[in-house]
């Protein structure tokens, strides 16, 4: 009896060891679970999310994996209380990987767990957002892709489109850390290249129209960084800008599609795909975010909203890469 009991314990112990060495796909017994938290719904972030899923799917297929991936997607609709609650919910679901789309969502997840692997996208500077120790070597459970745009080149593009000697306008949300960083870059570029800027801030969708009205007649063009508030208000901004015959250069292509005149920047779908490739390494190759350098997009595209350009008196062939 004692011998039989000892044998049973030994077999059980071996089973536990084998279970501990299994892949995440096997351990989940039905595939992988990925929790996605998005701060708000707008074109750029939606594209990043779709790109992420496509990127992970493509990597699994390329490596002959038939692993099922279940996504738990939550959108906070710009509400801080929602971000807190939803972050906690996704952590408690024991997802194999968490994904934060935009800085507030990434920070919300990072506050709730220091152990669950977390990738982020559409975050301008992970280090300044407190998500990593350094972008080259995160040393936290977080890594991902940065959407830092070529602010200087975008201002140069706007200057080439603007008419008259009035300064270039810059409108942003001063409560968004990533926007503050981009405005600093814009000011530095303007100083170096002798461009005059008039910088204003709006902190809610209700403020956008009134702040923009205050700029009308005082600027020769408008620059909008990759700012979640500005992105959400692009239809309003676009209508006001067209009425004022004001060229608008945006931080992202999706913002330009929704109401801007043009931009020179990254494609958020492609950026999401890069993040999806990183996710494959975490989920299937057991790589740790703390050792994965933050990536940036190497592809830049000139996008012209032909209808909006024509409405303010510009032909699309007049707008060239900066």
Tokens of 118: 């977390």
Identify which of 176, 125, 113, 119 has the alpha carbon closest to the alpha carbon of residue 149.
Answer: 125
pLDDT at 177: 87
pLDDT in tens, 159-195: 999 999 999 999 999 998 889 999 999 999 999 999 9
pLDDT in tens, 111-149: 999 999 999 999 999 999 999 999 999 999 999 999 999
Residues 6+ apart with CB under 8 A from 49: 36, 38, 73, 101, 272
For residue 303, the surrounding DSSP H or E stretch is strand 301-304
Residues 6+ apart with CB under 8 A from 291: 137, 138
Place of tokens 């059980």: 12
- Given a cut of 70, the residues of the chain with pLDDT beneath it are 1-30
Tell me the three state secondary structure of residue 119.
strand
Tokens of 49: 């999310």
pLDDT at 316: 84
pLDDT at 298: 77
- Helix ranges (DSSP H) in 193-258: 205-215, 228-232, 234-243, 253-258
pLDDT at 29: 53
Q: What angle, 0 to 180 degrees and rounded to 10, lies between the N-to-C axes of helices 151-161 and 177-192?
A: 60
CA 94 from centroid of its chain's CA atoms: 23
Cβ(25)–Cβ(31) below 8 Å: yes
Beta bridge partners of 170: 199, 223
Distance of CA 192 to CAs 166, 187, 251, Å?
Answer: 18, 9, 20
pLDDT at 317: 87
Q: How far apart are CA 109 and CA 119, in angstroms?
A: 10
């Amino acid at each position: 009896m004692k011998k039989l009991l000892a044998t049973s314990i030994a077999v059980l112990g071996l089973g536990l060891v084998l279970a501990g060495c299994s892949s995440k796909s096997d351990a989940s017994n039905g595939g992988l679970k990925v929790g996605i938290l998005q701060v708000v719904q707008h074109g750029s972030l939606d594209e990043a999310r779709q790109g992420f899923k496509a990127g992970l799917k493509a990597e699994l297929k390329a490596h002959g994996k038939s692993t099922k991936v279940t996504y738990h997607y939550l959108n906070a609709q710009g509400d801080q209380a929602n971000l807190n609650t939803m972050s906690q919910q996704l952590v408690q679901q024991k997802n194999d990987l968490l994904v934060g789309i935009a800085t507030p969502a990434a920070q919300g997840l990072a506050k709730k767990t220091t152990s669950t692997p977390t990738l982020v996208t559409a975050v301008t500077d992970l280090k300044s957002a407190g998500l990593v120790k350094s972008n080259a070597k995160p040393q936290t459970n977080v890594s991902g892709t940065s959407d830092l745009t070529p602010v200087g080149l975008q201002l140069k593009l706007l200057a080439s489109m603007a008419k008259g000697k009035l300064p270039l306008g810059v409108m942003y949300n001063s409560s968004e850390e990533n926007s503050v960083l981009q405005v600093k870059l814009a000011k530095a570029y303007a100083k170096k290249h002798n461009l005059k800027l008039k910088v204003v801030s709006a902190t809610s969708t209700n403020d956008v129209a009134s702040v923009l009205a205050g700029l009308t007649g005082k600027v020769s063009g408008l620059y909008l960084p990759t700012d979640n508030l500005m992105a959400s208000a692009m239809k309003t901004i676009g209508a006001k800008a067209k009425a004022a015959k004001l060229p608008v250069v945006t931080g992202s292509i999706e913002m330009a599609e929704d109401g801007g005149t043009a931009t020179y920047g990254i494609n958020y779908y492609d950026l999401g795909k890069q993040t999806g490739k990183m996710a494959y390494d975490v989920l299937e190759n057991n790589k740790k975010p703390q050792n994965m350098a933050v990536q940036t997009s190497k592809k830049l595209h000139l996008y012209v909203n032909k209808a909006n350009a024509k409405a303010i008196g510009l032909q699309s062939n007049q707008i060239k890469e900066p």
